[in-house]
């Protein structure tokens, strides 16, 4: 394991570091000299104005979108390395488009993800069975994904991302097609040292799943605070609550809690 | 290498399930079979010359269609997130590109080989004297190399444009290039599309083996160069 528990506890290393990242899309600056540091084990909700900024940030972190300026560092590395044992086991990403062929069954998707990560046959089998149980695929495990609808597609995408036990998990509007109670269960991602970043347009739906919140406004970091800061001021985990907290902190109101 | 085999297997399966495999293999076969049913007034002066010309025309149309499919495929893979799914699993984008090239290349080359058997049988049936098969085989191999170069060009187009635009540009562009090679005196020139011209002009070709080697080499070199360009473009693109 990259992060030994003792060093995590004592040094609080950063799992994600964005250093002055800038990117425009079709003339609109969505990331503008953004600086963000996310500690190991954080569960961070990212909300943004415009809404595309948060999605773009996750795609940049996943190595899918390029930067005009700045650098990112994920789980201790600055760029994707092609070794299956390296990047694929450090970072997982689930975007709004699953990218899975609809004719594949969840078992085939998971098997492919495991093969690409370089897992041996026994380990592949063990992890697929575990994922099938965790994500409640049951009889649908060997059926084409198109028959299971968007819910099965999204659960399979998350299961495939989790298959390699990544240290940093990037989730862009995850599991929107899944029933809310089941969604909450699945997004309670296990692992105290696993860092999870969720980009969401509906912050209230992430209540209980995150312990930090960040607000990007016009591509810059307007707020990065613990969720308990909202609670301490009687604000809710909503777009309005987050913006109110950002305004209060910009006015110089002392924080009630530090980012842990 | 194992990863490339896995990806190529996936690409072949996707082609099979989406029915794209059928025209890629089937159209050159139909082109070869069609040569057998040509009326005598279109069969040309010599049996092998006529059969080769009409097979080159049919294969050119088939290659253009396969190129359109290949361009559309790579553009679609980018847009629908499949390439992103691979990319976040540390699969190099160039590996995905090459796997599609190998999948399309295997199918198209197989189809061309099968179609060539049909065209050869038609020529043998019409010939009054025994025909030397070597020039025909060499010309068909040069045609297969031209097909690979065309596919590489199509994949390059697919990395730059949207799905339908890429398909149309690849179809029209490749059809125009191949038609120019069939119609023009290009068989002896060092061009990647010269293989199809060589096959079309086989009846009057003075040095078919040498020309086939030259055009085949030029086509393979061009294919490699275009794949490198496509990989660079893909590496710089957002997924």
pLDDT profile of chain A (260 residues), mean per 10:
51 83 92 93 93 93 89 73 59 88 94 89 93 89 91 92 92 89 89 91 90 94 93 90 91 65
**Cis peptide bond upstream of A50, omega within 30:** yes
For domain A82-166, give the fold. Answer: Rossmann fold (3.40.50)
A107 and chain B in contact, CB less than 8 A = no
CB contact under 8 A, B14 and A101: yes
Cα–Cα distance for residue pair A98/A146, rounded to 1 Å: 12
Kindly report the nearest CA distance between residue B48 and chain A, in angstroms: 45
**pLDDT value of position A1:** 45
Q: Which of B81, B82, B91 comes nearest A116 by C-beta?
A: B91
Q: Which of B17, B80, B86 comes nearest A103 by C-beta?
A: B17
Q: What are the distances in angstroms from CA B27 to CA B22, B30, B42, B75?
A: 8, 5, 21, 23
A95 and chain B in contact, CB less than 8 A = yes
Paired with B67 in beta bridges are: none
* B20 contacts on A by Cβ (under 8 Å): none
Q: Which of A66, A95, A112 comes nearest B84 by C-beta?
A: A95
**pLDDT value of position B132:** 86
For domain A12-75+168-260, give the fold. Answer: Rossmann fold (3.40.50)
Structure tokens at B64: 């253009």
| Domain edges within chain A | 12-75+168-260, 82-166
Minimum Cα–Cα distance from B4: chain A residue: A116
Neighbours of B108 (CB within 10 A): 27
Kindly report the nearest CA distance between residue B175 and chain A, in angstroms: 31
Minimum Cα–Cα distance from A103: chain B residue: B17
Helix axes B21-36, B2-17, angle to 10 degrees: 70
Q: Does the predicted interface ipTM exceed a cut of 0.90? A: no
Structure tokens at A93: 């990403």
Note down pLDDT in tens along chain B; length 239 residues.
778 898 999 999 999 999 999 999 999 999 999 988 877 767 666 778 888 899 999 999 999 999 999 999 999 999 988 999 998 888 889 999 999 999 999 999 999 999 999 999 988 888 788 888 899 999 999 999 999 999 999 999 999 999 999 999 999 999 999 988 888 765 456 688 888 888 888 877 667 888 889 889 999 999 999 999 999 999 888 88
CB contact under 8 A, B238 and A65: yes
CB contact under 8 A, B84 and A99: yes
**pLDDT value of position A12:** 60
């Amino acid at each position: 394991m990259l992060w030994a528990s003792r060093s995590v506890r004592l040094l609080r290393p950063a799992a994600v570091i964005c250093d002055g990242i800038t990117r425009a899309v079709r003339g609109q600056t969505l990331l503008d000299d953004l600086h963000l540091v996310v500690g190991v084990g954080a569960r961070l909700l990212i909300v943004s104005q415009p809404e595309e900024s948060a999605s773009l940030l996750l795609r940049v972190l996943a190595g899918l979108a390029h930067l005009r300026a700045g650098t990112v560092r994920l789980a201790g590395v600055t760029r994707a390395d092609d070794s299956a044992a390296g990047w694929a086991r450090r970072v997982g990403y689930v975007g709004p488009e699953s990218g899975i062929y609809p004719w594949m069954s969840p078992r085939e998707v998971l098997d492919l993800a495991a093969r690409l990560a370089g897992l041996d046959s026994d380990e592949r089998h063990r992890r697929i069975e575990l994922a099938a149980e965790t994500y409640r695929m049951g009889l649908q495990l060997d059926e084409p994904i198109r028959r299971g609808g968007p819910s099965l597609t999204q659960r399979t995408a998350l299961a495939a991302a989790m298959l390699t036990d990544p240290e940093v998990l990037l989730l862009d509007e995850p599991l929107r097609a899944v029933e809310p109670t089941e969604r909450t269960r699945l997004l309670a991602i296990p692992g105290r040292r696993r860092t999870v970043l969720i980009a969401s347009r509906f912050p209230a739906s992430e209540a209980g799943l995150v312990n930090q919140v960040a607000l990007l406004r016009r591509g810059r970091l307007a707020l990065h605070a613990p969720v308990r800061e909202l609670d301490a001021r009687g604000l809710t985990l909503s777009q309005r609550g987050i913006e109110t907290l950002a305004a209060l902190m910009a006015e110089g109101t002392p924080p009630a809690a530090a980012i842990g | 290498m194992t990863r490339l085999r896995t990806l190529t297997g996936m690409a072949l399966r996707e082609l099979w399930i989406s029915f794209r495999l059928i025209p890629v293999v089937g159209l050159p076969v139909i082109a070869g079979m069609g040569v057998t049913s040509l009326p005598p007034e279109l069969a040309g002066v010599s049996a092998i010359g006529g059969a080769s010309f009409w097979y080159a025309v049919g294969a050119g149309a088939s290659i253009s269609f396969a190129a359109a499919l290949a361009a559309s495929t790579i553009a679609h893979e980018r847009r629908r997130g499949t390439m992103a799914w691979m990319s976040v699993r540390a699969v190099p984008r160039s590996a995905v590109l090459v796997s599609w090239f190998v999948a399309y290349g295997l199918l198209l080359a197989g189809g061309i080989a099968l179609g060539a058997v049909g065209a050869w049988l038609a020529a043998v049936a019409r010939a009054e004297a025994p025909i030397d098969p070597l020039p025909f085989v060499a010309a068909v191999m040069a045609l297969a190399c031209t097909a690979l170069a065309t596919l590489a060009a199509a994949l390059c187009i697919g990395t730059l444009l949207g799905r339908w635009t890429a398909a149309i540009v690849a179809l029209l562009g490749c059809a125009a290039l191949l038609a120019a090679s069939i119609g023009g005196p290009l068989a002896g020139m060092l061009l990647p599309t010269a293989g199809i011209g060589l096959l079309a002009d086989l009846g009057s070709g003075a040095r078919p083996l040498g020309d086939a080697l030259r055009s085949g080499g030029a086509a393979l070199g061009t294919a490699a160069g275009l794949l490198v360009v496509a990989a660079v473009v893909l590496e710089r693109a957002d997924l």
